[in-house]
């Protein structure tokens, strides 16, 4: 019966145009929940609590706990059509500050990438504030070098947005990609297909190591740095929110904690 439920879930998520990544995550969460709760047809909040508590004991993050709870709520509400409300609150998410790279460190990273195409990929990810999934999905036609914009299609939440294209990179992009078809992936693999996110992350981590930077930075640190540096340059936070594609301004406001000049000017009494 559980496999039938999973098929129903997958079908419903696909009809509603959930992203493949979200569909896979929900299916994985529900498969684990069904393995734990053999009587999943009956909504029992205590069972759900016990299941989530087990995940907490296994050191699952608050974000992961909330993913499980979202999947379980979707199952009962949309698949079994249970009218009973699940009165469980989402786990409080930790407010860790993101790892940032200075402008100098980004220059060092770019200086340690010998492959011109790979260097442009990392430069564009920083200069336009892109996620790794967005950079590998870009096609040549998504760039408007006349208007200095990048059209991100079906990004997180299946939403399109426009962000800035760094004008400094225009000559290099014209030289490398000018004669290619608009429908070709911008940063294609050696075989001509889409570059994997893992490969893009490996390119970044290798350059980070070669640059001698010991911060626990990831590819996503480029996006964090883009946002922070824009705020430092005096760009209004609402524009930064739009460029990043954040639904809620509170998500963008975390970067204001990293750009407070008054805080940085305070000298320790030691």
Residues identified as active-site:
131, 156, 220, 223, 246, 255
CA 82 and chain centroid, separation: 32
End-to-end CA gap in the chain: 66
Q: Which two tokens stand for residue 70?
A: 């979202």
**How far, in Å, are 22, 76, 92 from residue 61 at the CA level?**
17, 23, 10
- Given a contact cutoff of 8 angstroms between Cβ atoms, the answer to whether 52 and 65 are in contact is yes
* Torsion angle of the four alpha carbons 262, 267, 269, 270, in this order, in degrees rounded to the nearest 10: 150
For 177-200, b where at least 16 C-beta lie within 10 A, e where not — what string? beeeeeeebbbbeeeeebbebebb
Print burial letters for 134-166: b (CB count within 10 Å at least 16), e (below 16): bbbbbbbebbebeeeebbbeebbeeeebbbbbe
Gap between the Cα atoms of 210 and 205, Å rounded: 9
Extract the tokens encoding 96: 């860790």
Question: Distance between CA 32 and CA 170 in Å, rounded?
Answer: 48
97 by Cβ neighbours in 10 Å (0-12 / 13-18 / 19+) ranks as: exposed
- Beta strands 149-152 and 143-144 are antiparallel
């Amino acid at each position: 019966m559980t496999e039938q439920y999973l098929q129903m879930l997958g079908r419903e998520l696909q009809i509603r145009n959930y992203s493949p990544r979200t569909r896979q995550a929900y299916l994985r969460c529900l498969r684990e929940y069904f393995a734990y709760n053999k009587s999943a047809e009956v909504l029992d909040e205590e069972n759900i609590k016990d299941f989530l508590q087990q995940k907490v004991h296994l050191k699952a993050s608050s974000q992961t706990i909330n993913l499980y709870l979202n999947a379980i709520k979707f199952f009962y509400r949309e698949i079994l059509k249970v009218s009973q409300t699940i009165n469980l609150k989402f786990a409080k998410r930790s407010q860790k500050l993101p790892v940032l790279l200075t402008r100098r460190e980004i220059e060092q990273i770019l200086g340690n990438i010998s492959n011109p195409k790979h260097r442009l990929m990392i430069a564009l990810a920083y200069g336009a504030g892109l996620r790794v999934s967005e950079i590998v999905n870009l096609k040549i036609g998504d760039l408007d070098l006349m208007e200095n914009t990048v059209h991100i299609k079906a990004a997180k939440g299946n939403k399109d947005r426009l962000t800035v294209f760094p004008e400094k990179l225009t000559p290099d992009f014209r030289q490398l990609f000018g004669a290619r078809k608009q429908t070709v992936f911008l940063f294609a693999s050696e075989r001509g297909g889409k570059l994997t996110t893992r490969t893009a992350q490996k390119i970044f981590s290798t350059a980070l190591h070669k640059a001698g930077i010991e911060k626990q930075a990831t590819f996503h640190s480029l996006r964090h740095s883009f946002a922070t540096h824009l705020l430092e340059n005096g760009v209004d936070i609402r524009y930064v929110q739009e460029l990043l594609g954040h639904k809620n301004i509170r998500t963008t406001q975390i970067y204001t904690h990293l750009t407070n000049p008054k805080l940085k000017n305070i000298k320790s009494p030691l």
